[in-house]
């Protein structure tokens, strides 16, 4: 049986946290968003406001709806303000020890029924859950970037996650208009497990000189019906992030099929990280 969610906490007001706060507030949930410094919260609120403004200018949202949604988000630097929330979504840096310490801090202030969701993209949710005194309340909610645009949330079931927690999170995701699919905890979950090795293989094709980056992307768009070529997608994600995920798969499964491409490593060493650096497999004019 799923539990009723009335108020949501979000920890981290960065790229993912502010997007998560935005979609929850837009769906009518009061959101308390916590970051470490007021300037980080201000930056998150500016991003959310701009995103809502774009929706208003495209007539996808009424100005009153934007104002109401913004008023539902309460930024704070105080963790204790998350104590009344039924669910807290953590979107802080990708570091196991930091995430585990947040779980321990939440354990100390939240009710025994509260659910703790982590937006980790590569750390074992089972290992994060082990930090809680009630491990069954911990679950993965893997959102995709940009959060307001992307339809899927992978719900990651740790070894310890209870049925009720899983059902509640799936119902929550559906309530804010996204699609939830449940997946057992494993390296890369499902989307990255499939997507990132495909990108890595496209990079190996460049490395072996099979075709130019442009031609490889055209082949995958026209021959496999992908909306975007794998190399342009690698540049968008960031080649350092692609390498991190490949390393997680390679080390986690201890399987040579996940070996990161030597060219991917070289590009990272050279600082050609994709769009954010103006150069990856393609070049990008300064923003």
Ligand X SMILES: NC(=O)c1ccc[n+]([C@@H]2O[C@H](COP(=O)([O-])OP(=O)(O)OC[C@H]3O[C@@H](n4cnc5c(N)ncnc54)[C@H](O)[C@@H]3O)[C@@H](O)[C@H]2O)c1
Q: Quick check: is 154 catalytic?
A: yes
Side-chain-side CA neighbours of 246 within 13 Å: the count stands at 26
Q: Quick check: is 121 catalytic?
A: yes
Q: How many residues bind ligand X (CB under 6 A)?
A: 22
Is the CB of 67 or the CB of 95 nearer to ligand X? 95
Distance CA 78, CA 34 (A): 7
Query: Which range of residues in 24-32, 33-41, 221-229, 249-257 is near ligand X by CB under 6 A?
Result: 33-41
Per the CB < 8 A criterion, the answer to whether 140 and 168 are in contact is no
Task: In angstroms, give the least distance from the CB of 140 to ligand X.
Answer: 10
Is the CB of 144 or the CB of 258 nearer to ligand X? 144
DSSP per position, 93-107: -S-HHHHHHHHHHHH
Please tell me whether residue 178 adopts helix, strand or coil conformation: coil
Q: What is the dihedral of CA 195, 198, 203, 204, to 10 degrees?
A: 150
Distance CA 20, CA 18 (A): 5
Task: In angstroms, give the least distance from the CB of 89 to ligand X.
Answer: 10
- Over the window 65 to 104, marking each residue x when it contacts ligand X by CB under 6 A and - when it does not, the resulting string is --------------------------xxxx---x---x--
Task: In angstroms, give the least distance from the CB of 184 to ligand X.
Answer: 18
Binding site for ligand X (CB under 6 A): 11-17, 34-36, 40, 91-94, 98, 102, 119-121, 143, 145
């Amino acid at each position: 049986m799923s539990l009723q969610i009335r108020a949501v906490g979000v920890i981290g007001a960065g790229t993912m946290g502010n997007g998560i706060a935005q979609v929850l507030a837009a769906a009518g949930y009061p959101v308390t968003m916590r970051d470490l410094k007021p300037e980080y919260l201000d930056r998150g609120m500016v991003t959310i406001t701009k995103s809502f403004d774009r929706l208003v200018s495209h007539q996808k949202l009424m100005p009153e709806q934007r104002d109401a949604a913004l008023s539902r988000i309460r930024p704070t630097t105080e963790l204790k303000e998350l104590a009344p929330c039924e669910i807290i979504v953590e979107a802080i840096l990708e570091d196991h020890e930091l995430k585990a310490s947040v779980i321990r801090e939440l354990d100390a202030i939240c009710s025994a029924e509260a659910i703790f969701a982590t937006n980790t993209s590569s750390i074992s949710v089972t290992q994060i859950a082990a930090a809680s005194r009630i491990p069954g309340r911990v679950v993965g909610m893997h959102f995709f970037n940009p959060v307001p645009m992307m339809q899927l949330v992978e719900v990651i079931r740790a070894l310890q996650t209870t049925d009720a927690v899983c059902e509640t999170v799936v119902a929550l995701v559906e309530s804010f208009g996204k699609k939830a699919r449940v997946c057992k905890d494993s390296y890369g979950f499902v989307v990255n497990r499939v997507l990132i090795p495909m990108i890595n293989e496209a990079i190996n094709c460049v490395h072996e000189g099979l075709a130019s980056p442009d031609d490889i992307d055209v082949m995958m768009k026209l021959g496999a019906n992908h909306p975007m070529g794998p190399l342009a997608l690698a540049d968008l994600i960031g080649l350092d992030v692609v390498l991190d995920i490949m390393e997680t798969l390679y080390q986690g499964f201890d399987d040579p099929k996940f070996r990161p491409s030597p060219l991917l490593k070289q590009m990272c060493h050279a600082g050609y990280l994709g769009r954010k650096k103006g150069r990856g497999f393609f070049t990008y004019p300064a923003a």
